Structure 1
């Protein structure tokens, strides 16, 4: 077995035997939502505004009753749906007596792709979707609602079986979050003035937004401090300085393994620069297309020039799709 095969096997084993965490950035919602650098504007403030308008428009389309989505939305939604389906498969395979059947999804995106994809997957899978809210008509967001487990009890009380749980934590807010008094309510529609923290803009927000931002990041930090955990980073380049600092702090925990996936090969240098690191660490690894066989990366063909390879959410899903009971053998949790 060569190094590339060993790497894929190692990633699969970590996913099924460790406490599973994902950090999902804007790259995962492409092509439905353009990356910040793709938006043409005279300054960052205007660029942030245009991005928020695009996210709102796409989110409205997702929750609408249109017979069909635009091609870019279909591609992105399909990527998220396949990804979440595979996470639930992994949690069903894991040993709940050793590792909680819970996966944490931390995302700096405020679009509604994860919510819509999870709703799609719930049609065919039994799992708990925990977005941190409680209530019925008025669903209030509260950090204390995380870290819950739910079990299915046999009709005769002769067994209990932990139900897989997907926890969604959105430190930058969401297009369906509404500020009501001192609370954030999660709605089933896109809000005209949603609770969102635009990139590089949270410093200027009022106390209400700062408190929310730090509460969500506190939950993130607590999860990364837990023993025997793994964090997979996808579509995130560590440009957010607050989260970059938290990752640097988190890797001081020797029991946490962090794998950051780069879209292109030169992202390795970009990630290290954004993190202020001179090199990778024993428990912090950057993986780019060059680390994988062709079946786990996307070939991009151009009319002129050389073909190039990329790695995105669909490629990570392909790796996770190969997990089986064999990957539990000799695994520790």
Structure 2
């Protein structure tokens, strides 16, 4: 069954995490808890939207969806230095800056893990899977030039230089060769795989493009403008059949397949933070993957109250460990410290 592992910061803890990270294909699954407090967790928004669909309350559906997406966009308007002339509150600014700092430290932590990787038998690459729509990780990646950041978009040979999404990018590696000597070194890289879409995705003519859309209007002129704004987002949200996009559904299942394939590899590590496994598809795929005896699932529990919920959810799997701090919390900064604790100062 799933086991609990207390973290005290002792030498034994550092030895444990060194063994875990140095000998595995590393994957992270990041949930909405990582973007707190800048963006509130999803809560029951998906169930609430689905209920409005079931009740055929279209106007209420688009009002709720627009309010939710507006809340997700709010911290990005501050990051992008735009806000329709409306000043941002000190709380919003403080929350965004705190979350950006956490993600900066996270990308830096992954860089350190990859740079210090001793074995040449494993790729110098980490996969980050997330159900988040926000752009905090993309934002953090712009401030770290020591890793190759791959979000699935590549430039095609067009004069416009459009960035088109291609999931095949996630199976590529980039190496550096010397000018004078015959050697090749794989550069540390991060695959960033957004399972539920992104605020930066734009669907146009059977392709997904990287595009940061204009700010939403301060007030929608009518219900049609509100509906068009909601539907312009390439996100996995409950929608009526007539509003569903075949391309987005295909991309979604393609990325889920990538998630499954990565977890099926030998000697694989999946680290989970800020994710509750409320998503039934991901829970099912993860449990199927745990049949791989060489897969280890590490779940960082925010507090001791959540430990039993995780161990009960994965009670049938012995390759699952739930990490917690007795009498304390594991927030984002603490998780960053724990995963690089073995690297020393």
Bin the TM-score by the shorter chain: 0.7 to 0.9
1:30 to 36, 43, 48: 36
* Matched-pair contact (CA < 8 Å) for 2:32–2:131: yes
* Matched-pair contact (CA < 8 Å) for 1:19–1:228: yes
Alignment: residue pair count: 299
Give the ranges of 4+ consecutive aligned residues of structure 1 lying more than 6 Å apart after TM superposition.
41-44, 65-69
Query: Alignment partner of 1:310: what SS?
Result: coil
* Matched-pair contact (CA < 8 Å) for 2:207–2:247: no
- CA deviation string 1:27-59 (max 9, x = no partner): 0000100123498x9877666543322112222
Give the aligned partner of residue 281 of structure 1: 317
Q: CA RMSD in A?
A: 2.8
* Matched-pair contact (CA < 8 Å) for 2:14–2:342: no
Give the aligned partner of residue 182 of structure 2: 158
| TM-score, with length taken from structure 1 | 0.81
* Matched-pair contact (CA < 8 Å) for 1:176–1:190: no
Structure 1 residue 65: Cα displacement = 6.5
Give the aligned partner of residue 223 of structure 1: 262
Give the number of the structure whose alpha-carbon radius of gyration is greater: 2
Query: Alignment partner of 1:161: what SS?
Result: strand
Distance 1:118 1:61, change over 3 A: same
Larger relative contact order (CA 8 Å, sep ≥ 6): 2
Distance 1:95 1:36, change over 3 A: same
Give the aligned partner of residue 21 of structure 1: 27
Query: Alignment partner of 1:266: what SS?
Result: helix
Residue 176 (structure 1) aligned with residue 215 (structure 2): no
Give the aligned partner of residue 333 of structure 2: 314
2:155 to 129, 135, 138: 135
Give the aligned partner of residue 343 of structure 2: 324
- Aligned 1:178-197 pairs, distance under 5 A: 178-188=202-212, 193-197=232-236
Which stretches in structure 1 are left out of the alignment for 5+ residues?
Answer: 291-307, 326-333
Which stretches in structure 2 are left out of the alignment for 5+ residues?
Answer: 1-5, 53-60, 216-228
* Matched-pair contact (CA < 8 Å) for 1:62–1:112: no
* Matched-pair contact (CA < 8 Å) for 1:175–1:190: no
- Aligned 1:248-263 pairs, distance under 5 A: 248-263=287-302
Give the aligned partner of residue 106 of structure 2: 83
Once residues 120 and 273 of structure 2 are traced to their aligned partners in structure 1, the CA distance between those partners, rounded to angstroms, is 28
* Matched-pair contact (CA < 8 Å) for 1:90–1:323: no
Distance 1:3 1:86, change over 3 A: closer
Once residues 148 and 336 of structure 2 are traced to their aligned partners in structure 1, the CA distance between those partners, rounded to angstroms, is 20
Query: Alignment partner of 1:316: what SS?
Result: helix
Query: Alignment partner of 2:126: what SS?
Result: strand
* Matched-pair contact (CA < 8 Å) for 1:25–1:107: yes
Once residues 35 and 149 of structure 2 are traced to their aligned partners in structure 1, the CA distance between those partners, rounded to angstroms, is 20
Give the aligned partner of residue 171 of structure 2: 147
Give the aligned partner of residue 70 of structure 2: 53
**126-135 vs 169-178, greater mean Cα deviation:** 126-135
Structure 1 residue 190: Cα displacement = 6.2
Once residues 276 and 68 of structure 2 are traced to their aligned partners in structure 1, the CA distance between those partners, rounded to angstroms, is 17
Query: Alignment partner of 1:287: what SS?
Result: strand
- Aligned 1:292-307 pairs, distance under 5 A: none
- CA deviation string 1:48-96 (max 9, x = no partner): 5433221122223223379997000000010000011010111011135
Structure 1 residue 98: Cα displacement = 1.4
